[in-house]
Structure formats: structure tokens, C-alpha cells
Structure 1
Amino acid sequence: MKLKLLSLSIISACMLTACGGSDSSSSSTTSTNNSNTGNTPIPGTTFQQWAAVDLSTGSDDLDINISQNTIDNGKAYSKQIVGEADNSFIVTPNGVYEDGEEHPQYGTYQGLLTVNGNQWIHSPYSSINSTDLKITTTYKLLDISNKEIFPTILPQEYIDLKYNLNESDLSAIAANYINSIKPIKFPQGSTCLQLQEISNSEEYVDLEIDEPENQSFLAAAWNTLATDPNAIQKVFKNTIAYFSDDENDEGFAKYNEQYYEATYYKKGVEFNLSDIINEWNSFKSSSNPAEVNARIDDQILLAENSCALYNPTAITAIQNTLVNYQ
């Protein structure tokens, strides 16, 4: 039920790309024309809407997921526009947080949200009045008018195609879509929120609600980890979760005698864009082939101009490119 604070495509690009292999077809730097608004405060909590978009190009079809976040008088809502909504809930050491009631216009109630300068402070909804979890997200407001859509919404695919990496992994539909959007730019008035940092007041697990018939499989997976001497155990409210090791945040949990796939989120800083960029910079070396350093520079530039959430003008432009692919 985690509020769609960031685009999954941005996170996947951040986590999966660094210095990679050494294939290359070009060493030119990606051109960008973002107008960086610096510390300009994000609009307040009276009313605003931002959308997250995630496109998956590896399957036979172009998988599209677009969700809209609405903030209205300090209340946060999430509505699925395209694709399937997440069906999960959060458990902390002392609390449980889930989706609230449906708003007829804005979608599912997600709790309270305070905007403090460039930060969103999200207090997720809890039917049992849990209050221990606060998720703080820091953003930078960017003007993306006249910026190319393709590298903004598909940064990993942009790098792959530019440097001839994994091109064969693209489905025919995805390749056609990418070719169709290469010349298209965001219209005037397009803005986005760039994700800078996410931090959590408590560690927690996000538990995915699955079909009842999958309980036997989930129970077997949980028991396998529970009997593994090397597995990591995490205990939360009415919950015991296991993960294969400290580096794996995907595992299985038992909550109130039911079994779930679990994703673990640590207390404190969960994501920091500057740290990732600094790590990429550390991969650059005079001993690398020139094309490898050029690719790292391109990836850093894309990250520095990345978007997590789009305003209505920008998301409408993105949706217009997808009309023939839904």
C-alpha cells in the first residue's frame, strides 16, 4: 500500500546500472535542458496531483503502470490510472498500515501528508490507529518543458540502445514504441519532482496480498527459510519474516497465521540519489575503456535530471504517447 512516491523505473535504473560491460557505439553525452528550480518549495498540501509512471519493456507486451497521487487538505490518495494497483500492507515493529476507504474521485485513502519545504512527510493510514511510521521523501522541482520524453521515462533503455547493450531483450512492441517517441518532447508547462531521498522512522515490511490458493506455496517458502541457519529473521507486530541474507530485501513472512511475500525496508535512509551518483563516479577510472567512462557519465547525467513524479501537463503528454499501446 506504499504511496507511489517514486517511479519504479527510476529506482530500477539506479540499482541495475553502473559500469556494466564495455560494449559501446557512441561516447557522446546526453543533452538535457532541464530548468533546475533548486530549493523552490513544492506546492503545499491544499491541493496538488502528481503521477508516477513505470514502463516494462522486457515482456511480449509493453507493460504500463501509471498511478496518480492526490493531496487534498493534507490527506493523501492514490488512484491507479493504467495497470494493476499494488495490493499490500505494511507492518512495523508496533503497527499495521493498510489502504483506507475509496474516495469517489481521488482513489484510495493513504493517510496524512505534510509538505515541509521540499519534503513530503507521509503518515500512512492505519485502521488500528498505529502511529510509529513516518516516511519522509525529499524532492527537487524540475521544469522539463521541451525535454525529450524517451530518456526521461525509459533511462535504462536509452542507455542500452545508445551503447548497444541488451537490445535483443526489447520486445517488438517496446522497440516500436521507443522509435515512435524518440522525437517527442514534453510541452511547455511540464514539471516533475526529482527524488532526492527517502527515509523511514521505523523499519518495516511490505506484505503482498496473494490469492488464497497460493498459501501452501508461500508457507513452504517461509518454512524453508525458517529452517535455514543462514537466513535472517525479522520480527514485527504479529509477524515473523525471513530473508536469505543481509543483502536480500525480498523474503517471506507469516502474519496472523497467513503467509506473504515480503519486502524489507530499513529504518533511516532507504534511498539517496547523491550517494548513488557518488558510487557511479567511483567506477570511473583512467584504466577503463573510454566508452565505459562515457557511459557512466551518461548515466550520471540522466540521474541528475531524473523524474519520479509528473504534473498533469507532463503525464498527459506521456499518456498521449501510449494511446496505441494500451
Structure 2
Amino acid sequence: MGNQNISAREIIESYDGRHIRIMEVCGTHTHEIFRLGIRKILPEAVELISGPGCPVCVTPVSFIDEAVMLALDHGTVICTFGDLIRVPGSKMSLAGARPKGAAIKMVYSPLDAIEYAEKNPDKNIVFLAVGFETTVPAACLAVKKAKMAGLKNFTILGANKTMPNAYKALKDSADAFLYPGHVNAISGTYVCEQLVKKGISGVVTGFTASELLTALAVVIRLTQGGKPFFRNCYPRVVKPEGNVLAQNLINEVMEPCDAEWRGLGMIKGSGLKLRTVYSDFDARLRFSLPKVTGRSNPACRCGDVLQGKCRPPDCKMFGTGCTPQHPVGACMVSNEGACSAYYQYGGDFNV
């Protein structure tokens, strides 16, 4: 960082060089940066944009449609994290399916869904598996436990994703990424180091004010060098090797596949699906689901927000037709969504 007597905040506030775009790739980073007031101290030359760091937000409309189909047409009990319940599908959300007879149960872990399946052998239980590297191990553990227990009434509807190829798809959207600390705690730093060879810069950081300010200051300083870079500014949690046990569990149960991201489209090798040995627990196969093509509300710009093409307030529906109480897009539903953060903390929305 050079002169140790200069604080990270001073480096940020005194910057007057060329315009720098920094993309947060973690919904928690987005919310904490707002909550801590960090956006208010950024000079005009430093622009923070929100990327696809919210797993609920990047989950495509077609996934919600599949879940509704499983609930209404196949009579399954859908077990899911709370954020997904209100995400709009092509025709309705899971919350909207409830009055039509859908059984939707909120859980805090896929293991809760396993427990529910064990207690209700006469019901078909489907867990909605969404999330990045951080939450995938828990889904894998649940599937392993179901297989060991011989559960015949438990499956998962998968939409798990991994971040590396998303960074490549968004390479030209920002000068540098703020990499998600939780994800890198699992995957380690190897992927980010390899991305430097592709011309992609970034810094992995934690969630405190000190950690976030340090990361932004590092990006500002290193960007001036004109060369791609990576720094681990979260060494107390993120280790070079990551969580090897979690990595091995993921590799045992799942394998890479192409995946659709809301806003980004299909990204090769960015998804995870169950390996053949565990395919009995794939809800799409168990219930022979047809190919579903979702249709999002054309007035919603959630996809553009996730690509950093616009800020949430740039959407005409933001704060009027689309609010946390009546969301039109996933970015307003999730607690990690950029639209939710702007609505909650953005004040006059000019930040």
C-alpha cells in the first residue's frame, strides 16, 4: 500500500485519476457498503456497480416455473429458503401458488428438508438448491445423507452455480471485481490468480468497514499500474487452498454443467448438477419435467442491473411499481439484491 501513514480512507477520498469501475460480486458486500456509508465518501472518479452476487437474483424465471409445476402438477412439498418464495415466475411466484394448493415450506438448511422427508414418508419433498460455492456443500451433504438413509421421497431441484466463468463473461463490465469472501473461503484463491492471466483484476475482501475500505484502496492503487492484479485482503478467512473438505464433497456429488443466469444468459460450465450415481435425487429426472422457458416481466431491468449496465434507480419501476412489499424482479425480493439495497439505504437514490 506504499506509505503506511496514509489510511485507506485517505487513499480513496484523495483519488482524482481516471475513472475506475469496481463491481461488487457479493450481495452482502453491496448491502454493507451501503449500510456503512462507504458510497458517500467515494470520489466521482470511483464508481461502484453491483454484479451477479445474489444467488436468488441470478436464478432464472424458468426455475421458479419448474418449482411451481412440481408443487401444483406433481403435488410435491417444496422446501426452500425464504427469499425464493416471493420471486416472480412467468405466471406466479411460489407465494402465488399457495392459494392454488401448493405446499411451500420455508427451511433454513437442506438438512431441514431431509428431516421433514424422514418424518413424512407419504409426501414427496423437493428442496430448491440455489446458491454459489458457499451453500453447495450443504446441498451435497443432504443428498449424501438421503442416499445413505435410502430416502425415496426426497429430491432436489438444482440451480447451483459457480463464479469463475461469470467473471469471464463480465470481464469488460468493470476494471476490477470485489470478490466475495464467503465464496473464496470455499474455493480459495487459485481461481482468482488464474483470472489475472485472462486480464481480469480483483480483490477478495471481508465485510467490516476496515476490510472494505482497504480493498477499495488496494484496487485504486493497483489499477494505476495498468496491469491485471489479484490481492487477498481477507487472509484471516480466505486461504490459498480454500476449504478442501468442502471442495471434495462438491466434486463427489456434483459435476459442472452449463447454466442459465438471469440477465447473463447461458454460461458454459458455470452450473452444477448431480453426478449419475446421485441422479435418483434429481427432481427434473424423477418427475420427468419438460423443458421450461421462463418469461420475465419486460418492464423489469433486473437483468441489466446484474450486468452492471444500469443502477436500480434507472429502472422506471424501481420504488413505484416495484418495491420490497410488491416486487416485480428478484433483485428487489432478496435481502442480498442490489435493488433491495438501493431501496433500503439509497436515500435519494443518487448515491
TM-score between both structures, scaled by the size of structure 1: 0.25
TM-score between both structures, scaled by the size of structure 2: 0.24
- Larger % of helix: which? 2
- Larger % of strand: which? 1
